[in-house]
Chains A and B, each alone.
Chain A
Amino acid sequence: QVQLVQSGTEVKKPGASVKVSCKASGYTFTNYDVNWVRQATGQGLEWMGWMNSNSGNTGYAQKFQGRVTMTRDTSINTAYMELSSLRSEDTAVYYCTRNPSESGDFDFWGQGTLVTVSS
């Protein structure tokens, strides 16, 4: 069965970076894009960017340009999202999700990773 399993809770200080992993199983990893979506407590969903798992091509939301990097390791079917220059407003649950390229069918989601930014 398809699964996206994310890394665990992170606590970071302002100015630091965080790297969240998303390990895929149950399907051919390179046949789907990976997107990252975050959600602050009590708030809505916010799209951060996409990555083509085959080519490694990426596209980022304008808000995160220059601060976010999405990568993958196809040998272990894992996608990564690194966010730098963290501030308190980045405290949120971060989700990875898969979709066919150029489609918004985010049909499977990771369980979410809580990132807390606090001094």
Chain B
Amino acid sequence: QAVLTQPSSLSASPGASASLTCTLRSGINVGTYWIYWYQQKSGSPPQYLLKYKSDSDKRQGSGVPSRFSGSKDASANAGILLISGLQSEDEADYYCMIWYSSAWVFGGGTKLTVL
């Protein structure tokens, strides 16, 4: 089982909100980890969005709109990237990442379609 699991795709309408999940493997407690989020548009390198550990421990990337925010769902053992007020430019692949067992580990990515 992968360390981080993300749904492969998600669709949402312009103006709506999208909640992208990043589920940690059983036995890896989401509460103790910083969850990092990256956005990658087609043909471009990834861009740093934000990191989230708790409501008092979080950081937004430089220039990243406040429409992007992080949270956790402890009951689901998952990190969440919430994008509100979806815009067409938000259509991209989104990756979560944690530091686990002396390595940076990426989730498989979620392709977000805005239509």
Contact = CB atoms under 8 A, between A and B. Distances in A.
B95 A45 contact: yes
Contacts of B106: 37, 44-47
Interface stretch (A23-31, A68-76, A82-90, A106-114): A106-114
A105 B104 contact: no
B99 A104 contact: yes
- Most chain B CB inside 10 Å of its own CB: which residue of A46, A104, A107: A104
B44 to A, nearest CB: 9
A104 B34 CA distance: 9
Contacts of B98: 104
A35 B105 CA distance: 12
A104 B37 CA distance: 10
B95 A106 contact: no
Contacts of A37: 46, 106
B51 A59 contact: no
A109 B51 contact: no
Name the residue among A45, A61, A106 with the largest chain B CB count within 10 angstroms.
A45
A52 to B, nearest CB: 14
The range of chain A's interface size is: 20 to 34
B45 A111 contact: yes
B109 interface: yes
Contact of B51 (A95, A104, A110): A104
Nearest to B36: A104
Contacts of B97: 45, 47, 104
A104 B104 contact: yes
B80 to A, nearest CB: 17
19 contacts: A44-B106, A44-B107, A44-B108, A45-B40, A46-B106, A47-B103, A47-B106, A50-B104, A59-B103, A95-B45, A97-B45, A97-B46, A104-B34, A105-B51, A105-B61, A106-B38, A109-B45, A109-B47, A112-B45
